[in-house]
Amino acid sequence: MGTPVTRRRPDPAAALAQYRRRADCYDLEVAPFEAVREQAIQALDLRPGATVLDVGCGTGLSLPLLRRRIGAGGHIIGIEQSPDMLAKARQRVREQRWDHVRLVCAPAAAARIDGRADAALFHLVHDVLRDDDAIANVLRHLKPGARVVASGLRWAPAWLWPANAFVMMAALYSVTSLEGLARPWDKLAPWLDRFALRDVLGGAMFIASGRRRAAPTGG
């Protein structure tokens, strides 16, 4: 089990080691929270034929839900820096014989993305959401007005200690820095119009959504 320390920035090397250990059991670990994934993808409001970026796609758990909404004519670009996790996603794609799914093994900040997409999903990717370069690289490859949804862990109000105990335990497995857990969406929000925030699981998780603006606030 990886333990996040009080570093101010995510640690890519620690994240790779963390997900190398988790790759074989990841799907089982996150199974209790799949309802949040489904709600996040529903909030993307995808249409048939759309192109969607799945940022930090992991083992590809979001792929069938996304493909169901965009249809065989849509495209998915999955971005994942962990080769171990991405190998599971590639196997999933092969077994389902899905066309129009491109998987990119690279950090979100450096991923080469062709064209401009209609939507982007950031699900359970706290480290990515704390990386300005990663957010900029992804959002610059979206069309103006593209739908963006982020979901993941967050600190609940202090008095909700059971929720925060859950957040801490989950963070031990899934993040390399606790920085920003009070407002994980705050680096993404300036890029979005119609920003909306919803607490889920008793305030221990969130779903943030909006539409990609022409330029981030102040940029």
Distance in Å from the first CA to the final CA of the chain:
39
pLDDT band at 196 (very low <50, low <70, confident <90, very high): very high
The whole-angstrom separation of Cα 8 and Cα 12 is 13
pLDDT value, residue 158: 83
Across 1-5, 34-38, 141-145, 178-182, least confident range: 1-5
pLDDT value at 88 more than 80: yes
The whole-angstrom separation of Cα 30 and Cα 98 is 23
Cα-based angle 12, 188, 145 (whole degrees, multiple of 5):
125
pLDDT value at 2 more than 50: no
Token pair of 216 as six digits? 């981030």
Task: Please give the average per-residue pLDDT across 124-152, as a whole number.
Answer: 97
Token pair of 84 as six digits? 């171990």
20 or 173, greater pLDDT: 20
Question: Across-strand partners of 53?
Answer: 77, 120
Counting Cα atoms < 13 Å in the Cβ hemisphere of 7 gives 13
pLDDT band at 1 (very low <50, low <70, confident <90, very high): very low
Across the beta sheet with 142-153, the strand order is 101-105, 75-80, 51-55, 117-123, 142-153, 205-212, 192-200
DSSP codes joined into one string, 52-67:
EEEET-TTSTTHHHHH
Contacts with 58 (C-beta within 8 Å, 6 or more apart), sequence order? 19, 26, 80, 82, 85, 88, 89, 124
* Enclosing H/E stretch for 30: helix 26-30
Task: Please give the average per-residue pLDDT across 73-79, as a whole number.
Answer: 97
pLDDT band at 8 (very low <50, low <70, confident <90, very high): low
pLDDT-above-90 percentage for the chain:
75
pLDDT value at 219 more than 60: no
For the chain, where are the E strands, in sequence order?
51-55, 75-80, 101-105, 117-123, 142-153, 192-200, 205-212
pLDDT-above-70 percentage for the chain:
95
pLDDT value, residue 164: 86
Q: What is the pLDDT of residues 35-66, one digit of tens each?
A: 999 999 999 999 999 999 999 999 999 999 99
Pairing relation of β-strands 101-105 and 142-153?
unpaired
Question: Across-strand partners of 117?
Answer: 142
Domain 12-211 CATH assignment equals 3.40.50.150: yes
pLDDT value, residue 44: 98
